[in-house]
Structures are given as C-alpha cells and as structure tokens.
Structure 1
C-alpha cells in the first residue's frame, strides 16, 4: 500500500508558489519565497509529532503544558536546491539536526550520482525530513532515501514544492512507506525530465546559475 501524498493547499503556500513560477522573479525573490514556503511546509509535515506532558512555572503559577516528545528531528536537504528549505524550517525547529545529501542528476542519463553525504549517526531514533523542491524523475529522492536508510533511518518523510505524477509513482514504488508533502502536483515531465508547467530548475533559480 502506497504512503499518503498530501497537497498543502493553504492560501499562503499557493500564493507564494504562483509568485515563484513567474519566470521574471528575481533570484533574490525566488530564494526568499522558497525559504518562506519551507517554513509553511514544515508546519504541515510536523502536525502529527508526538507530545508529552511537562510541568512548568508561569509567572503566575505551576501548570501542565505539552512539548514535543522523543529525539530532535533531522532535516536532510538534497544538495543543492534542498538547502533552500533549510533556513525556514530551522527557524521553526532550531534544535533539529541536519544531514546533507549531495546528489546531482546526470544530464544525459538523468540518473542520480552521489558526491557527498554527512549525517548524524543515530537516524534510527529520529524522524527524518528529506527536502528537495522538485520531485521530477524521483531518481535523486530514491537515492537519498536509500542512503539515509543505509544509515538506519526508519521514519522518513519527503517534502517538496512541486511533484510530477511520474516522480510520485517512482518514489512510491521504491519506498512505499514514505509519505510525501507537496504544494502542487503538476501535469507531467518533458523529454528533458523537467516538470511541466513547473518553474524551471530550482537550483539555478535560487543561485542565479545556468
């Protein structure tokens, strides 16, 4: 049974996504919007985190509150575009650990090639959010999740800005238990493996490269 796919249709998310799709959006504006959407998606993907009771002293009296239970989360951006989500999410979860997964897509084969990996050692005890703005062919997503699982990760969630139906199918085939959060599911992939209508190459638009 395939894991759930959640389309985050909050008006602020959809508004910012529309601004990002505009081909005339500046590099600075694109980067700021990606950071902001990252924060909003983090709010949704962590909605079901477990809580535990705790007694605290307010300025008036002692009371029982609730705090997130268990070990801190791990944010795992797929380099380079996944880093665009990082600051926004860390602003909500400043104690989170960060795992960097360096993968690029070979322009000829479209296959994922790993060039860097650095991660906390105790992934088995933590919820890991895998971050990449674009779920296109899903080759990079599948490779990143494979790598994180090899380090013991068991509770993984994938967060993206845009997804193609082909990418969702590929990810669910390879890792059927990993749920996905996205701002939109677009029409299809073109012959170059880009999402249509999409927003172009997220990494290039973030950093002003071609």
Structure 2
C-alpha cells in the first residue's frame, strides 16, 4: 500500500469528518521491519516512527537519527520499569504508561535526568486480562495520580479487542479523555485508523500497511 496512500487516506477521512488533516499524526510502526524498509520510508520524508520494544529500538534508531534529521520516536509497546531510563533516553513519546510503579519511576528519572518524554496513559478498554493498561473504571484516578507526580500526560492510548467493533472502544477512550481535559488520543491501526480518525484520534499507529507484512522469523 505504501506511505503516500496511507497519508492520503488519513487526509481524506479527516476532511470527511470536518477535521484538519494536520490534526492527525501518522506513527509509522517499524517494529521487526528490516532496516532497508525503514530507511526507504525515512527517505520519503516521514519522520515519526513507533517501536514496541526498547531493545530493538536501541539497536536501530541511533544510527538512523544520525543520518536523518528530525526523527520523532514513539514507544507503543509495554515498558518494564527497569527499562524506563533507557526508554526515556531514546523515545520522544511513551504511549504505554499503565501502572503507578512505572509512573513513579518515570517521575523520579525525569527529575534526575532533567527531561521527560511526552506521555500517554494506556487504557485497557476491553478489560482483556492479557493486555496492559488501566481499566476504564480506574482511569480517572490514575490520570490524577500521574498529574500529582508532575508527569506531562498528553493523552490516552488503547488497543481494542481484535474481535470487537473498534468504534465503541475509541468512543470510550475519547469520553475518558474529554472528562479529564486531555487532548491526545492514540488509537487506530492499519485495519481501523479511519474509524479512529472519525472518533477523534490525534495519533494513528500504522505498520504493515506502510511497510508490508512483518516477517517474524
């Protein structure tokens, strides 16, 4: 499908629902993609990328950042507390703050390091036991706890259950964000990003539709 087609579809959907196309940021999800595919997308001028794992990102992005100016890196996978320092050095935005222990670690490190990435709180809208994220019922309290720690919370993130209508989950995430005065909504992937834009997504996370199918072997 490719980068330009995805950008055009984002623009068309934003216009269709009466939004400015630039109000939606495309995060190109480059996890487990070969370096040459990532470099091709960088060469096309795209600069905002998402990675799932700190180790994998650490292995490939410092070199790309030297070669290409203005790269913005988003962590969209779960973050272990013991990797928080490395993540805060590497990533500009972390989408997966999901528990108080991690929030406290980030707050402590931010004070020590003198900087903090922009942060999103992950909400487990489907309340799936295998998925990270705070439950919708606990979200308001957790947002407040993060704010009390002085963390720069920009928005919320969710990954809807694969077998459910995503728009219900996107609407729920937006409702929680609005009542907590949060602007950012990180939601929507290759299969449902247009639905997410219609529901107010500010960040969509698209991988295989840009890079091609992942080869996990």
TM-score, scaled relative to structure 2: 0.37
Q: Kindly indicate which of the two structures has a greater share of residues assigned to strand.
A: 1
The structure having more radius of gyration, on CA atoms, is 1
TM-score, scaled relative to structure 1: 0.38
Q: Kindly indicate which of the two structures has a greater share of residues assigned to helix.
A: 2
